[in-house]
Amino acid sequence: MTMAMKVVVADDEPLARERLRTLLADIDGVEVVAEAADGHEALHACAEQRPDLVLLDIAMPGIDGLETARHLAAFEPRPAVVFCTAYDAHALSAFEAEAIDYLVKPVRPERLAAAIDRVRTFAAGRGINPAAPTQRRTHLCARLRGSLRLIPIEDVHYLQAEEKYVVVHHARGEDLIEESLKSLEEEFAERFVRIHRNCLVARHEIVELKRSPDGHVQAVLRHGKTPLEVSRRCVAGLRDTLKHL
């Protein structure tokens, strides 16, 4: 007996969620394992339920559907995403976020069934493209011991690589994320500057550069308790960056 496809339905409108649940009940081999009213709830549900598919509204308060999909791209196993939205103008963004299908509300039963078939085809061929999404996120997603925390990028002071993790130092403390410092540097190049092979600092956090008693250059941060060491290879570029802040 084949396992049912586990589905999470995410939409801020209760009636829209109810309609999708009703339509899905008529499709064999599909089980709705959770509902969510926004992106944050959707990510929590996916961390707990490990669904095969997320039916995702785009226009939701807080973290919208497009950003939710960008976070889901880092989940393991990665769920398939099908967007459901009232606005077909979002189609291009949806496929940049690597959605498998895109349904315009009110969702028609035959279109939903076709989308489910596409997801099954992709899953059977393991055809979901794992390439990184192209748009910058507004939050980082820390997932540890089954819990999940979303950290606004604007609250991040600095990022420090530590073995296979990156430690995010932010306004409310520290969290670990499983991303590479290099990919974070590329995604958020306008916000963070490299001061060491293992450290990126938010540009607006750097107050000054000073030399320590042993001759090393250090960056003094607006919200940092202790200065951070700047590697010799980064000093010249960092001084130039600070001139233009």
CATH of the domain at 172: 2.40.50.1020
- Please indicate, yes or no, whether residues 167 and 108 belong to a single structural domain of this protein: no
Give, to the nearest 10 degrees, the angle between helix 14-25 and helix 109-124.
70
| pLDDT string in tens for the chain (245-residue length) | 467 999 999 999 999 999 999 999 999 999 999 999 999 999 999 999 999 999 999 999 989 998 999 899 888 888 999 999 887 666 656 666 678 888 989 999 999 999 999 999 888 865 544 334 445 788 898 876 666 888 999 999 999 999 889 999 999 999 999 889 999 999 999 999 999 999 999 999 999 999 999 989 999 999 988 999 999 999 998 998 888 76
Residue 102, pLDDT score: 87
Residue 148, pLDDT score: 80
Q: Quick check: is 22 in a domain?
A: yes
- Please indicate, yes or no, whether residues 111 and 201 belong to a single structural domain of this protein: no
30-36 and 5-10: which strand pairing? parallel
Residue 235, pLDDT score: 94
- Please indicate, yes or no, whether residues 9 and 105 belong to a single structural domain of this protein: yes
Q: What is the CATH number of the domain that holds 69?
A: 3.40.50.2300
- Please indicate, yes or no, whether residues 82 and 177 belong to a single structural domain of this protein: no
- Show the tokens assigned to 192: 């963070």
CB 103 within 8 A of CB 54: no
Residue 219, pLDDT score: 96
Q: Quick check: is 76 in a domain?
A: yes
Of 124, 144, 169, the one marking the end of a domain is 124
Residue 106, pLDDT score: 92
Q: Quick check: is 120 in a domain?
A: yes
Q: What angle do CA 14, 98, 122 make, to 5 degrees?
A: 95
Look up the pTM and report it. Answer: 0.69
Residue 92, pLDDT score: 59
Name residue 173's beta-bridge partners: 170
Domain count across the chain: 2
166 is in which domain, residue-wise? 155-243
Q: Quick check: is 49 in a domain?
A: yes
Of 103, 124, 145, the one marking the end of a domain is 124
Dihedral angle at the C-alpha atoms of 127, 132, 133, 138, nearest 10 degrees?
140
